Amino acid sequence: MISWINHEYPEEEMHDWVAEKLGVKVHPAAVSHLKSSIGDKTIAFPRLEKHEGYLFGIVYLPSNVTNPAADFDVVVFVATHDQVVAAILKHETSELNWEEIQATLGDYDKNDDTPDGGQFILNLFRETVEKNRKDAENIRDDIEKQISEETSTDGVLSLEELGRMPIAQQLSTNPADLSKKRRQGMLKRFNKLAAPLAQVTGDMPQMMRVAVETERILFKLSTDDEALDLKKDQDGKERELFSKDLEIYMADSWEKCRILVATLEEIKSHIKAVDNLTSHLSDEENVAAGRFTGAIASIMLLPTFIVGLYGQNFASMPETDWQHGYLFSWGAIIFLTFAQIAYFKHKKWI
């Protein structure tokens, strides 16, 4: 049976009420967590601990799966074989339907031999993994969509073509192979991604910590770790809190949590690739600017040299006596100028 905490209780009364519900003496620290508020910004760190006759746990669900921010609703619980006392601590940004979630957590056959406390914990971790997976997948898909839009700006690849191309391949572009227009366009648009990606980067440690710690707990539960199982119920009867059947379902949730961790690692990889490509684009743009300056200087140098050469007042200069000497100087200037322009265009310096 699940009893949800009424936070209006004074802590002293709540301690007695919790102990009466569970049939065991509960540590004041556990009751304090049940009573606590989510108002302070604490580090998200899932827990599941075995105490004397009960399990104490804290799990974190993303408060809004459409929001990339690492804000979490928290469920704190104390569970025995047949009784659970739990509290929901909502974040101010919460958009979770807790009436529906509470119904899901209580969805089990109360008349079978499966311990209700073990089934509640399974349902809770299932819901936690599912919500965190959805949150991570939404963030990954949004980043990939923005990257695809930024890498198709000059019409070289359509969004449909990019959709069939692995995102890693999209981000493996060599900036030196791009035209100046496309390079500048990509750099400008990738710089616009800096702010949203910086927010995800800042929140990633929280999301990774929740995922990794949840995975660790689920692994222990699925492998019958005695440190997280109650072998006897309140009546002293030999009875595991987590039956073999529940452990199999825990193993399934553990596998899904591993996928969650892999998805978060993929997001980190995308962000790192975007940062690297942006840095390379910026470096190439600086190099290109230097090349352009050098090319312009070279194009201007030779005509200036010719003008300066023939501007010298030496009577013995043979070209001054040529019938077409003037046209020759102009021809040399025009030829050398266009030859250099063609060369530097071929080298993509201008």
Inter-CA distances, 322 with 101, 310, 311, 318, Å: 98, 13, 15, 7
| Alpha helices for the chain (secondary structure H) | 11-22, 28-35, 98-105, 116-150, 159-163, 167-170, 180-192, 194-222, 244-310, 325-346
pLDDT tier for residue 170 given thresholds of 50, 70 and 90: low
In a domain? residue 90: no
- Tell me the β-bridge partners of 85: 3, 78
- Sign of torsion, CA 34 36 40 43? negative
List the single range of 109-113, 225-229, 248-252, 292-296 with lowest mean pLDDT. Answer: 109-113
Residue 334 located in a structural domain = yes
pLDDT at 106: 80
Structural domain includes residue 294:
yes
Q: Determine the pLDDT at residue 70.
A: 77
* 115 in any annotated domain: no
**Is the pTM for the entire model greater than 0.85?**
no
Q: Give the model confidence (pLDDT) of 36-55 as tens digits.
A: 755 555 788 899 988 888 89
- How far is it, in rounded angstroms, from Cα 302 to Cα 320? 19
Expressed as residue numbers, the domain containing 322 is: 288-346
Q: What is the pLDDT of residue 96?
A: 87
pLDDT at 129 over 80: yes
Q: pLDDT value at position 152? A: 55
17 CB burial (10 A radius; 0-12, 13-18, 19+): middle
In a domain, 329, yes or no: yes
Local confidence band at 160 (pLDDT 50, 70, 90 cut-offs): very low
For residue 98, the model assigns a pLDDT of: 83
Number of neighbours of residue 191 by Cβ within 10 angstroms = 13
Percent of the chain with pLDDT over 70: 82
- Quick: pLDDT tens for 10-40: 666 777 777 788 888 888 888 788 877 555 5
pLDDT digits (tens, 9 = 90+) for 280-302: 777 777 777 777 777 787 777 77
Q: How far apart are CA 146 and CA 130, in angstroms?
A: 24
Is the distance from CB of 170 to CB of 147 less than 8 angstroms?
A: yes
* Residue 328 within any structural domain of the chain: yes
For the stretch 81-101, pLDDT in tens is: 888 888 888 888 888 888 888
Q: Which two tokens stand for residue 220?
A: 């222990």
Residue 224 lies in a domain: no
- pLDDT for position 158: 43
Measured CA to CA, the distance from residue 214 to residue 129 in angstroms comes to: 8
Quote the number of domains for the chain.
Answer: 1
Q: What is the per-residue pLDDT for 10?
A: 66
Cβ neighbours for 148, distance < 8 A, ≥ 6 positions apart: 159, 162, 163, 167, 170
What is the rounded distance in angstroms from the CA atom of residue 279 to the CA atom of residue 73?
A: 37
Confidence of residue 159 (pLDDT cuts 50, 70, 90): very low
User: What percent of the chain shows pLDDT beyond 90?
Assistant: 14
Q: Residue 173's pLDDT is what?
A: 62
The verdict on residue 128 lying in a domain is no
